[in-house]
Amino acid sequence: MEQTFVLVKPDGVQRGLIGEVIARLERRGLKLVGAKFLHVSRKLAEEHYAVHKGKPFYEGLINYITSAPVMAMVWEGPNAVAVVRQTMGATRPYEAAPGTIRHDFGLTVSRNLTHASDSVENAIAEITLWFKPEELVSWGRDTDRWIFESN
Ligand code: UDP
């Protein structure tokens, strides 16, 4: 079963949208398997966004993500990576489709509320960076067979 890494960024936390993000992912049928509320260190922020180092928005991005607490989560389900990216919407809220989180709550790219892994490979790397194996909860959910067919 696929897992993906999700952050409610500082603007989402400050605006009281943690519950909204969780509700949308739960309602979609995904299963929460890990969660922690933390203030991100500069070191962790730089590791997480290493791919953007040197870009014009990099310093602002690191300052933003370390400016206040975030909610870090791991969600699981069939095609979890693609499903969560779709629920979040395009990186730039003004390009995000109506009904997505970034559309419904955002205006600008530098305050776009959430992060979600963009590939299965990156999901594995990000989950490993943010969570210890024992912090992930393996659990059975009785409604799973009503959400997807599994044999
Ligand atoms: N970002 C920004 N300005 C830009 C591009 C990106 O502030 O011009 C920030 C934004 O918070 C975005 C993050 O950098 O979510 C990572 O960018 P990426 O292209 O990986 O988008 P994402 O995967 O978050 O949709």
Its ipTM equals: 0.97
Tell me the CATH architecture of domain 3-136.
2-Layer Sandwich (3.30)
pLDDT of residue 151 exceeding 80: no
- Report the share of the chain in percent with pLDDT over 90: 98
Question: Is 103 an active-site residue?
Answer: no
Pairing between β-strand 114-116 and β-strand 70-76 as defined by DSSP bridges: unpaired
Of 47, 50, 48, 46, the C-alpha closest to 7 is 48
Query: How far is residue 137 from each of residues 64, 132, 151, measured CA to CA in Å?
Result: 29, 11, 22
DSSP assignment letter at 151: -
Section 30-51 average pLDDT: 98
Q: How confident is the model at residue 150 (pLDDT cuts 50, 70, 90)?
A: confident
Is position 112 annotated in a ligand binding site?
Answer: yes
Closest ligand 1 atom to 85 CA: 25
Q: 90: Cβ below 6 Å to ligand 1? A: no
Kindly report the pTM of this predicted structure: 0.97
Section 10-38 average pLDDT: 98
Give the pLDDT of residue 119: 98
Task: Identify the three-state secondary structure at position 16.
Answer: coil
93-143 tens-digit pLDDT: 999 999 999 999 999 999 999 999 999 999 999 999 999 999 999 999 999
Closest ligand 1 atom to 51 CA: 20
Q: At a CB cut-off of 8 Å and minimum separation 6, what does 64 contact?
A: 9, 10, 11, 110, 111
Q: 108: Cβ below 6 Å to ligand 1? A: no
